[in-house]
A and B are shown apart, each in its own frame.
Chain A
Amino acid sequence: MAERKLHILSVLVQNRAGVLARVSGLFARRAYNIESLAVAPTDDPALSRITIVVAVESTPLEQITKQLFKLVDVLKITELDPAEAVERELLLVSVRATPETRGHVTEVVSIFEGTIVDVGHDSLTASLAGRPAKLDDFAELLRPFGILELQRSGRVALPRHDRTARTAPIRKVS
């Protein structure tokens, strides 16, 4: 079996009821697991951008994008090569922070240039935005202190400006 690779699909859709269900339903129907998914309106409120990260081989990915493109509400699909895209994700984490460990925890947060957004007696909540890999590292370093809750937003991504050649929109084959 060929190696599964993470692919980022940036899907521009009409901002209408049920669009997300249509898009995610397509993945479910072909038994592909969505790694992460983020959706929000674009600067044009009539349109939304759905950023989907999916782990599949390239052949089924081609089929999935072609099927997605058949949805009446889908306007454009761009596959973003992680190397050619800027990606950001937001992480919120509540960590145990007793008087003994609090200094270490805040140090980790500041090294990563995160923000402490809430403080309790023996815990605190920090936020960090950045590349997904950086968020992974952040969570790993906080883990020994005791993570109480952790929530990630799923990544959003856009192509880089200077090197867009390899991220042209997937067009209809003809």
Chain B
Amino acid sequence: MQLTGAQALIKSLEMEGVEVAFGLPGGCILPAYDPILESALRHILVRHEQGAGHMAEGYAHVTGRPGVCIVTSGPAATNLVTPLMDAYMDSIPMVAITGQVPTHAIGTDAFQECDTLGITRSVTKHNELVMTAQDLPRVMREAFHIATTGRPGPVLVDVPKDVLTSLMDWHWPSEGDIVAGLPGYRPTTRGNGRMIKEAARLIGEARKPVLYVGGGVLKARAAEALRALAELTGIPVVTTLMARGAFPDSHPQCLGMPGMHGNYTAVTSMQNSDLLIALGARFDDRVTGKVSGFAPDAKIIHVDVDPAELGKVRRPDVPIVGDCRLVIEELVQAVTALGGLEAQPDRTAWWEQLRAWQEQQPLRYQPAEPGEGLKPQQVIESLRDLTPEDTIVTSGVGQHQMFASQYYRFEQPYTWVNSGGLGTMGFSVPAAIGAKVGRPDKMVWAVDGDGCFQMTAQELVTASSERIPVKVAILNNAYLGMVRQWQEMFYGERYSEVYLSPDLPDYVKWAEAMGCVAFRVEDPSDIAPTIEKANSIDDRPVVVEFRTDSSEKVFPMVAAGQSNDDIIVAPDVTGS
């Protein structure tokens, strides 16, 4: 069967089971848009290519399937750089297709030519330029294989215009062909049996262990296995910013989020632990604080599918390369073989200590009185109480992100979608749209900052025209709040270029202009009724602007570069 490259490209997407692609056409990718008219593939036309990338990420986050975006060459490809990097940092499976100038024009500074491969090399897991149409199915299949196996990540396929228009003989390579064609790519999935036994032995000796759970547990779809391990051993669990929801917040063994803005007990449990069982976590500086002062007495069991993570920051006593789900399942067996829960040491003292910390140092804030400005924490708590348990929450980056992670309750995996590694302002609205496309059955709320909202809000036009009913809560504190917080605390209250204004833009009018229903909440008594009103609207996007207290800061906090022992639990109160 003879096909054009463009037809082969779209057919490859169909063969991979892709149901939706996010994109925006232009010169070089034009031929690929023609067969889309005949395809069952749903294409969502974005308003900015960065939005396409974040939508693909949001979709991948909640479905576990690779997100796909299609854009043209030059400026469109460069607009994708931020979401590619975001997906790379957070290990999101994604396939990006970019148009390129015709092969004979490559290297001539042709109109809208750019060195897409060169520019995206360090922000992708892999990228490839397709030089003949005949190669397209193989390269596409390789792209999906690489994006979704091992440590997931973004893969970019750059397709010159003449490759799209030339003819090829259709052939769909088998999985085996793909694996054979990539001799340098053999991710390890099964953990080393001896190491797993050794890990089980260490667990059985630890008096003050902590399960340090990272985003890799979600990527490996290992939430159930984790729960089995936690309950089998009775060990407390902390879930990092990337792993919120991997273990239910309401579970008695859950200590919540560690890190720079983690709660006191989560942070301090790790500091005092004698064994950290790191599962799909990467000892990020936002979790460890000053590395030399991090969990100084803890032995480390480190499980990760990426061998380069083991020993990168902290040398593990027991390194295990493998898929988190498979390794945790084997750990459960190994611990069971040693006698299971019965054989675990007595950890009453440890739990008493943990409960005492929880009681002494809960998350806390001063709620607003009626008539006062809203407290952001109060808004998140209301949202938590008024939304179904399986609601998907996305967030931007800043104070609102930390409040959302701290004060919302995450009971199920894949309900929390945020930009952890890169910290990309503007992530939440497009990510929410992608998430809603992937899980139309679920309620999706974007918790956004006023600063972040202004970076990608135009995608609400996409949401309106495509009838994707996401909900957005803007915590409008009139500031680049997180930066303001640093200036207040570390730059002697010298506020430099962080003021945004509460009413420029007028968020309600802006949202309405983009086809959304919009509300503004200024009084605490209006928070709940407005959220309920928003929840009841299911035929178009809703934006609720909450006017929050500008001076509110995120606590606890471990200042950058400080030891976790120097956690500040509230203004002027240090933990130790």
Q: Which residues of A come within 8 Å of B, CB atoms?
A: 13-14, 17-18, 21-22, 25, 29, 62-63, 66-67, 69-75, 172-174
> B118 to chain A: which residues have CB within 8 Å?
21
Residue in chain A with minimal CB distance to B127? A18
Q: A21, A72, A173: which contacts B321 (Cβ < 8 A)?
A: A173
Binary A-proximity of B185-202 (CB < 8 A = 1, otherwise 0): 100100110010000000
19 additional A-B pairs beyond A13-B184, A172-B188, A174-B319, beta carbons within 8 Å, are A14-B183, A17-B129, A18-B117, A18-B129, A21-B118, A21-B121, A62-B311, A66-B312, A69-B308, A70-B306, A70-B308, A71-B184, A72-B126, A72-B146, A172-B321, A174-B192, A174-B307, A174-B320, A174-B321
Q: Does any Cβ of A come within 8 Å of B504's Cβ?
A: no
CB distance from B138 to the nearest CB of A (A): 13
Q: Which residues of B come within 8 Å of A, CB atoms?
A: 117-118, 121-122, 126, 129, 146, 182-185, 188, 191-192, 195, 306-308, 310-312, 319-322
Contact between A66 and B307 (Cβ–Cβ < 8 Å)?
Answer: yes
Residue in chain B with minimal CB distance to A28? B122
Q: A22, A63, A173: which contacts B121 (Cβ < 8 A)?
A: A22
> A13 to chain B: which residues have CB within 8 Å?
184
Contact between A14 and B184 (Cβ–Cβ < 8 Å)?
Answer: yes
List 27 interface pairs A-B (beta carbons < 8 Å), by A numbering.
A13-B184, A14-B184, A17-B129, A18-B121, A18-B129, A25-B121, A25-B122, A63-B311, A63-B312, A66-B307, A66-B308, A69-B308, A72-B126, A72-B184, A72-B185, A75-B183, A75-B184, A172-B321, A173-B307, A173-B321, A174-B191, A174-B192, A174-B307, A174-B319, A174-B320, A174-B321, A174-B322
Residue in chain B with minimal CB distance to A47? B183
In the bound complex, what is the Cα–Cα distance between A73 and B122 (angstroms)?
A: 15
> Which of A18, A74, A174 has the most B CB atoms < 10 Å from its CB?
A174
Q: B129, B182, B195: which contacts A72 (Cβ < 8 A)?
A: B182
Contact between A29 and B126 (Cβ–Cβ < 8 Å)?
Answer: no
CB distance from A1 to the nearest CB of B (A): 15
Q: A17, A67, A173: which contacts B310 (Cβ < 8 A)?
A: A173
> B129 to chain A: which residues have CB within 8 Å?
17-18
Residue in chain A with minimal CB distance to B311? A62
In the bound complex, what is the Cα–Cα distance between A13 and B185 (angstroms)?
A: 11
Residue in chain A with minimal CB distance to B194? A174
> A71 to chain B: which residues have CB within 8 Å?
184
Contact between A174 and B188 (Cβ–Cβ < 8 Å)?
Answer: yes
CB distance from B153 to the nearest CB of A (A): 10
> A172 to chain B: which residues have CB within 8 Å?
188, 307, 321
Contact between B183 and A29 (Cβ–Cβ < 8 Å)?
Answer: no
Residue in chain A with minimal CB distance to B182? A72
Residue in chain A with minimal CB distance to B310? A173
CB distance from A18 to the nearest CB of B (A): 6
In the bound complex, what is the Cα–Cα distance between A62 and B310 (angstroms)?
A: 10
> B307 to chain A: which residues have CB within 8 Å?
66, 69, 172-174
Q: B117, B146, B182, B308: which contacts A63 (Cβ < 8 A)?
A: B308
CB distance from B309 to the nearest CB of A (A): 9
> A21 to chain B: which residues have CB within 8 Å?
118, 121
In the bound complex, what is the Cα–Cα distance between A69 and B320 (angstroms)?
A: 17
> B121 to chain A: which residues have CB within 8 Å?
18, 21-22, 25
> B195 to chain A: which residues have CB within 8 Å?
174
> A63 to chain B: which residues have CB within 8 Å?
308, 311-312
> A174 to chain B: which residues have CB within 8 Å?
188, 191-192, 195, 307, 319-322
In the bound complex, what is the Cα–Cα distance between A74 and B188 (angstroms)?
A: 15
Q: B117, B122, B184, B312: which contacts A29 (Cβ < 8 A)?
A: B122
Residue in chain A with minimal CB distance to B195? A174
> A29 to chain B: which residues have CB within 8 Å?
122
Contact between B311 and A173 (Cβ–Cβ < 8 Å)?
Answer: yes
In the bound complex, what is the Cα–Cα distance between A67 and B125 (angstroms)?
A: 11
Residue in chain B with minimal CB distance to A68? B308
CB distance from A57 to the nearest CB of B (A): 13
> A14 to chain B: which residues have CB within 8 Å?
183-184
CB distance from B331 to the nearest CB of A (A): 15
Residue in chain B with minimal CB distance to A70? B308
In the bound complex, what is the Cα–Cα distance between A70 and B185 (angstroms)?
A: 8
In the bound complex, what is the Cα–Cα distance between A48 and B143 (angstroms)?
A: 23
Residue in chain B with minimal CB distance to A17? B129
CB distance from A73 to the nearest CB of B (A): 5
> B185 to chain A: which residues have CB within 8 Å?
72
> A69 to chain B: which residues have CB within 8 Å?
307-308
In the bound complex, what is the Cα–Cα distance between A67 and B319 (angstroms)?
A: 17
Known: A17-B129, A72-B185. A173 touches B319 (CB 8 A): yes
> A17 to chain B: which residues have CB within 8 Å?
129
Nearest 8 CB-CB pairings of A with B: A66-B308, A174-B321, A174-B192, A75-B184, A72-B185, A172-B307, A72-B126, A173-B307
CB distance from B569 to the nearest CB of A (A): 35
> Which of A13, A21, A66, A71 has the most B CB atoms < 10 Å from its CB?
A66
In the bound complex, what is the Cα–Cα distance between A172 and B322 (angstroms)?
A: 11
> B182 to chain A: which residues have CB within 8 Å?
72
CB distance from A14 to the nearest CB of B (A): 6
Residue in chain B with minimal CB distance to A65? B308
Residue in chain B with minimal CB distance to A64? B308
In the bound complex, what is the Cα–Cα distance between A77 and B557 (angstroms)?
A: 42
In the bound complex, what is the Cα–Cα distance between A70 and B192 (angstroms)?
A: 19
Residue in chain A with minimal CB distance to B185? A72
In the bound complex, what is the Cα–Cα distance between A66 and B117 (angstroms)?
A: 22
Residue in chain B with minimal CB distance to A59? B311
> B188 to chain A: which residues have CB within 8 Å?
172, 174
In the bound complex, what is the Cα–Cα distance between A66 and B304 (angstroms)?
A: 13
In the bound complex, what is the Cα–Cα distance between A66 and B313 (angstroms)?
A: 13
CB distance from A62 to the nearest CB of B (A): 7
CB distance from B129 to the nearest CB of A (A): 7
Residue in chain B with minimal CB distance to A19? B184
In the bound complex, what is the Cα–Cα distance between A172 and B122 (angstroms)?
A: 22
